[in-house]
């Protein structure tokens, strides 16, 4: 190459223009905001409800080590653990990000940790069902009964880009179903069998 400086500058330009293609400019504005606790999108706001009803996009394996994704995770965790509005799970669409990412509180594990799941899908479920009384951070001040599977097998990408499968039972299985619904643009109120005020 005749001019190595031009080559290096070209690489820098390509690198800069390819960065953050994971998220839209609007999503980056949310993630990079100064707020640690993000605004929760709710069904009673027409514009926010429109986004909540959209299907989320998957991550590819090359995107899951992105630092912006790690920042989103930390802000989602702070949001779901907000003492003013605590939850047991959160999905990225609930904070305005249409990507397949959820955090679930694992009541089936010691110390009930919150864990993140990338591209989670339910690949199998039990025949048996349970009636679950649910609420949602995106549907404030309401509860309702929903029929859920008693057990689910989920598949997801871990932080090492490996596809994992796990079978989950009980209340934690209900949380997974609720949060994965969010990724498909579904709210629990769409499946409600009885409303509880």
Residues designated as active site: 179
Strand-pair partners of 134: 144
Q: Rounded to the nearest 10 degrees, how much is the dihedral formed by the CA atoms of 51, 143, 188, 153?
A: 130
**Whole-number Å distance between alpha carbons of 172 and 193:** 20
Per-residue H/E/C for the chain? CCCHHHHHHHHHHHHHHHCCCCCCHHHHHHHCCCCCCCCCCCCCCHHHHHHHCCCCECCCHHHCCCHHHHHHHHHHHHHHCCCCCCCCEEEHHHHCCCECEEEEECCCCCCCCEEEEEEEEEEEECCCEEEEEEEECCEEEEEEEEEEECEEEEEEECCCCCEEEEEEEHHHHHHHHHHHHHHCCCCHHHCEEEEEC
């Amino acid at each position: 190459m005749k001019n190595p400086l031009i080559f290096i500058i070209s690489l820098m330009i390509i690198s800069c223009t390819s960065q953050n293609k994971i998220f839209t400019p609007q999503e980056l504005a949310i993630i990079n905001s100064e707020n640690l606790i993000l605004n929760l999108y709710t069904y009673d706001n027409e514009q926010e409800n429109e986004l909540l009803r959209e299907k989320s996009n998957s991550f590819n394996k090359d995107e899951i080590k992105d630092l912006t994704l790690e920042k989103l995770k930390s802000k989602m965790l702070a949001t779901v653990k907000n003492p003013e509005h605590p939850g047991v799970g959160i999905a990225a669409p609930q904070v305005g990000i249409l990507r397949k990412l959820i955090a679930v509180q694992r009541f089936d594990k010691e110390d009930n940790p919150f864990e993140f799941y990338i591209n989670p899908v339910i690949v199998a479920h039990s025949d048996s069902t349970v009636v679950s009384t649910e609420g949602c951070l995106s549907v404030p001040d309401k509860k309702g009964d929903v029929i859920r599977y008693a057990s689910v097998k989920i598949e997801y990408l871990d932080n090492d880009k490996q596809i994992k499968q796990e079978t989950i039972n009980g209340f934690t299985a209900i949380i997974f179903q609720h949060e994965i619904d969010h990724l498909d643009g579904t709210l629990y109120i769409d499946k409600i069998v009885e409303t509880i005020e």
